[in-house]
Chain A
C-alpha cells in the first residue's frame, strides 16, 4: 500500500511546535477538490432523474409502459402500505443474511488462519459452491430446508435468508482469509521475538490488520445481501423474518406502523410478483426504488462505520 503521509520537519527542537499532518492532501486546492468529489456526482444524478422525468412522455411512452420519476413517486404513495411492509421484511431477510453470512465467514477465515490444513481442505469446496448461480440457490435451499425439523413450516422463508447468507459468505471469507495473512512481516517478527502466543498474534496483529479487508467486504456484501434477499423472495416467495418473529412473539404487532407478523408478508421480491401480475408498473418501479434507497442507506452506514473503526486506512 502506498503511504500518503505528509512528511514534516525533522530537525530537533521543541517538537510540540511542529505541525502534525492533519492537512488534507489537496492542500489549498480543496474547493476544486470538493466540487469534483461531491458536486459532479450530484449533478450527474440530477440530470439522470430529469431525463427520466422528461424523456418517456416526449417519445410517447405512457406511464403504464414506462413510468417517469413522477409516476414512480405517485406509485410509491399509492402502494406505500404494501411497499413499506414488504420493505421491512426484505430488510430483515437481508440483514439476517448479512449478519449470519459475515459472522460465519469471519469464523471460517479464523479457522483457516489457525490451520492451513483446514484452509487446504475447505477452500476449494468454498470456491465450487460459489460457482453455483444465485438463481439456483433459493429452490435448492428450500428443498434442503424442507427436510430439516428446525425450520418447521417455514423452510421457504429460511431459504430466502439462506440465499442472502450464501451470497455474503464468500466475499468475506476470501477477503478475511487474505486479510489475516496480510500482516507486516516485521511486526510478526517482533511478536515472535516477544514469544507472543498464537492467540496474541491473532488478536493483536492479524485481526486489526484484516479490518480494512473486512470493511471492503462489508461494503460489497451489504449490497449483495439485499440482492440475495430479493432474488430469494422472488424465487420462493416466502419470508423468514426472524426479527419480525421475535418482535411479534414479544407482543409488538407493529413497529412505526409496519406489521411485524412474519407469515403475512412476502418481502419486496414477493410483492414484485404481485405487482407484476397487476401490471402496476409505477408500483414495481417504486418497489425497486425503495429497495435501492434502503441499500444505499446501508452502504453509507458501512462507509461511516469504516471511517469510525478504521481511521488509519479510511482516508481515501
Chain B
C-alpha cells in the first residue's frame, strides 16, 4: 500500500484575482520511495509540497500520509522539509542549528542519530562549531539536510534544495544525498527543474506543466541502486531523459 497518497488535489490562491495553482493532482509514493517532481517555474511544485506538509491547508482533494491526513502526520512529526535556501539561524552554530527541531519538540535525544552523527553523515563533523556565515552555500545546505533528519521523519520534502548551487557542487550534493538516503531511508518528494538531477536521484519522476499546475506523466526510472554518476553517461539514462523531455513538451501540444 502507498505511504503517501495525493488524490485529486487542487489549489487556488485566494485574493482579489484568484490564481489557480494546481488542478487535480494525483500520485502516490511507496514507503522509502524517492519521487522527483519536475516542471518549469510556476507550475505549482512548491505549492504542492506546502499542501502535502500542511503549511498550506488542503481545500480540494486529499493528502494522506501513512493513512492519515497531513495535519495529523505533521503533528506526529512525520514530515521533514528542506527549503531552497538553507534557512539556518545565523546566530546558531551548525551543530545547534541541527539540534533546533529537538529543542522545539522538547526532546533530549534525537531519533536514531544524534545531531553530531548527522553532521558527520553529511560530511561536516569538524564544522559543528562554525556559524552559517563561516560556511559555504553547499555546506549550509548540508546542515539544513541534517537538521531535517534529526527527528527521523518518514516523509522528507525537498524544495529545489540545490537550485542555488553551481552545477559541479550540485552533482556532488546529489551523490551525497543518495549516500545519506541509503543510510537514513525515508520517502522523499524532491522538487527540481533539473532533468538529470531528477532522473539520477529518483525511482519515479512526476512531470508537471504550468498554469494551472497539472501532471502530464509519471515516468519510472529503472536504473539499479546504488547509483553512481557514471550512469548519467549510459544510453538508458538518455532514453529516460528523452521521455521526460517529451512529457515536458506535451504542454505546448495542449497549449
How far, in whole Å, are A59 and B90 apart by their CA atoms in the complex?
Answer: 57
Q: Does A131 contact B (CB under 8 A)?
A: no
B55 and A187 form a contact (CB under 8 A)? no
Number of A residues near B (Cβ < 8 Å) is 34
Q: Does B242 contact A (CB under 8 A)?
A: no
Cβ distance A163 to chain B, nearest Cβ, rounded Å? 34
B172 contacts which of A5, A10, A191, A195 (Cβ < 8 Å)? A10
B126 contacts which of A15, A211, A310 (Cβ < 8 Å)? A15
Contact residues in A for B91 (Cβ distance below 8 Å): 208, 211, 310, 312
A195 contacts which of B74, B100, B166 (Cβ < 8 Å)? B74
A12 and B123 form a contact (CB under 8 A)? yes
Chain A binder among B58-66, B101-109, B212-220: B101-109
How far, in whole Å, are A280 and B8 apart by their CA atoms in the complex?
Answer: 87
How far, in whole Å, are A194 and B175 apart by their CA atoms in the complex?
Answer: 28
Number of A-B residue pairs having CB atoms within 8 Å of each other in the complex: 89
Q: Does B83 contact A (CB under 8 A)?
A: yes
A311 contacts which of B131, B165, B172 (Cβ < 8 Å)? B131
Q: Does B136 contact A (CB under 8 A)?
A: yes
Q: Does A181 contact B (CB under 8 A)?
A: no
A11 and B133 form a contact (CB under 8 A)? no
Q: Does B53 contact A (CB under 8 A)?
A: yes
Contact residues in A for B172 (Cβ distance below 8 Å): 10-12
Contact residues in B for A312 (Cβ distance below 8 Å): 90-91, 131-133
Cβ distance B193 to chain A, nearest Cβ, rounded Å? 19
How far, in whole Å, are A290 and B79 apart by their CA atoms in the complex?
Answer: 61
Q: Does A21 contact B (CB under 8 A)?
A: yes
- A-facing mask of B219-231, CB < 8 A → 1, else 0? 0000000000000
Q: Does A198 contact B (CB under 8 A)?
A: no
The chain B residue sitting closest to A183, CB to CB, is B89
B87 and A22 form a contact (CB under 8 A)? no
B137 and A7 form a contact (CB under 8 A)? yes
A205 contacts which of B75, B89, B139, B169 (Cβ < 8 Å)? B89
B87 contacts which of A3, A9, A187 (Cβ < 8 Å)? A187
Cβ distance B244 to chain A, nearest Cβ, rounded Å? 27
How far, in whole Å, are A211 and B131 apart by their CA atoms in the complex?
Answer: 16
B89 and A194 form a contact (CB under 8 A)? no
The chain B residue sitting closest to A191, CB to CB, is B104
Q: Does A24 contact B (CB under 8 A)?
A: no
Q: Does A278 contact B (CB under 8 A)?
A: no
B130 and A192 form a contact (CB under 8 A)? no
- A-facing mask of B149-174, CB < 8 A → 1, else 0? 00000000000000001101100100
Residue contacts A-B, CB under 8 angstroms, 20 given:
A5-B135, A8-B136, A10-B137, A10-B138, A15-B126, A20-B134, A186-B85, A187-B89, A189-B55, A192-B55, A193-B55, A194-B105, A195-B104, A200-B104, A205-B89, A208-B89, A208-B91, A311-B131, A312-B131, A312-B133
The residues of A with any CB-CB pair to B shorter than 8 Å are 3, 5, 7-12, 15-16, 20-22, 184, 186-187, 189-196, 200, 204-205, 208, 211, 310-313, 315
A-B contacts besides A10-B169, A12-B175, 14 pairs, CB < 8 Å: A12-B176, A15-B123, A20-B130, A20-B135, A21-B134, A21-B136, A186-B85, A187-B88, A193-B74, A193-B79, A196-B104, A312-B90, A312-B132, A313-B90
